[in-house]
Amino acid sequence: MKKLTKILSIMLVIAMAVGCFAACGKKEADNGGSEGNSIKFGTNAEFPPFEYVTQDGTIGEFDGIDIAIAKQIAEENGMEATIDNMEFDSLIIALQNGQVDAVIAGMTVTEERAEAVDFSTPYYTATQVMIVKEDSDITCAEDMADKKIVVIQGYTGETCVQDMNYEYEAFKKGTEAIMELVNGKCDVVVIDSATAQKYVDDNEGLKIVEDPNAFESEEYAIAVKKGNEELLEKINAAIEKMIEDGTISEFAAKYVDADVE
């Protein structure tokens, strides 16, 4: 009899604990969802000057051109911006499953991506470039043919090199790719222009080689879940205003000059 009471009371405690967890979990979901007063932006903060981690950022520990833009978009709409930092490859999935409301990640508009998400008005024009050692004999994209090429996994730079039918190795982070180059383990890194400039500024002995014939210009835009017109309209209105009044150029100038790790 005593034993039964003990078992029953243990079960009661477990039931209460489970109930509490469920309640707590629900509360969190209510606050963190797309509803209400915040826009949850997904990014991959491995892409200076657009997004990087720093001690005292514009939103929490995050800073960069995109982070400043995200904050401004939210403010224009009387909302707050939060940042969810994840791998670049996971961003579109996070958008699709509702983990984030929007993706701001120096993301190039491509046909393939536009099938999966809706893109805002573009806010920045870029191109792929080659980063090489200062004494490299690479002067155009064709010169990469017999070289050891490194790209970043899932970036448009990877697609470009794939389309050229060159062999390459893909790394998860730009900094890892640059270390390969600095350490002489590869000959060239293909990556977006502004980020390349940052890496060349921060690492001695590197230079940028451009080839406009091989690399087309790319446009960065914010992505939302397919069909989320309400949010897209808010984002577009804010972006268009920021392009017109020069805010985006200001942010670009500020973060390109900023000393970023």
Question: In the complex with ligand ARG, which residue's Cβ is closer, 42 or 242?
Answer: 42
> Within positions 48 to 67, which residues make up the interface with ligand ARG, using CB under 6 A?
51
DSSP-assigned states of every residue in 126-183: EEEEEEEETT----SGGGGTTS-EEEETTSHHHHHHHHTT---EEESSHHHHHHHHHT
CB of 29 to ligand ARG, least distance (A): 26
x/- letters, 3..42, toward ligand ARG (CB under 6 A)? ----------------------------------------
Question: In the complex with ligand ARG, which residue's Cβ is closer, 122 or 237?
Answer: 122
Virtual torsion, Cα 55, 173, 158, 150, nearest 10 deg: 130
x/- letters, 100..129, toward ligand ARG (CB under 6 A)? -----xxxx---------------------
| Given 39, 41, 42, 47, the residue binding ligand ARG (CB under 6 A) | 47
CB of 236 to ligand ARG, least distance (A): 19
The C-alpha atoms of residue 134 and residue 157 are separated, in whole angstroms, by 21
Tokens linked to 48:
């200076």
The C-alpha atoms of residue 174 and residue 195 are separated, in whole angstroms, by 9
Tokens linked to 191:
């990556």
Question: In the complex with ligand ARG, which residue's Cβ is closer, 103 or 138?
Answer: 103
| Given 39, 40, 42, 44, the residue binding ligand ARG (CB under 6 A) | 44
* Structure-token match 């909302």, residue found: 79
Nearest to 142 by CA among 165, 108, 123, 112: 165
> Within positions 222 to 251, which residues make up the interface with ligand ARG, using CB under 6 A?
none
| Given 41, 42, 46, 94, the residue binding ligand ARG (CB under 6 A) | 46
x/- letters, 155..194, toward ligand ARG (CB under 6 A)? xx-----------------------------------x--
Task: Kindly state the helix (H) or strand (E) to which residue 123 belongs, with its residue range.
Answer: none
Q: In what order do the strands lie in the sheet with 46-47?
A: 46-47, 51-53, 62-63
| Interface with ligand ARG (CB under 6 A) | 43-44, 46-47, 51, 88, 105-108, 155-156, 192
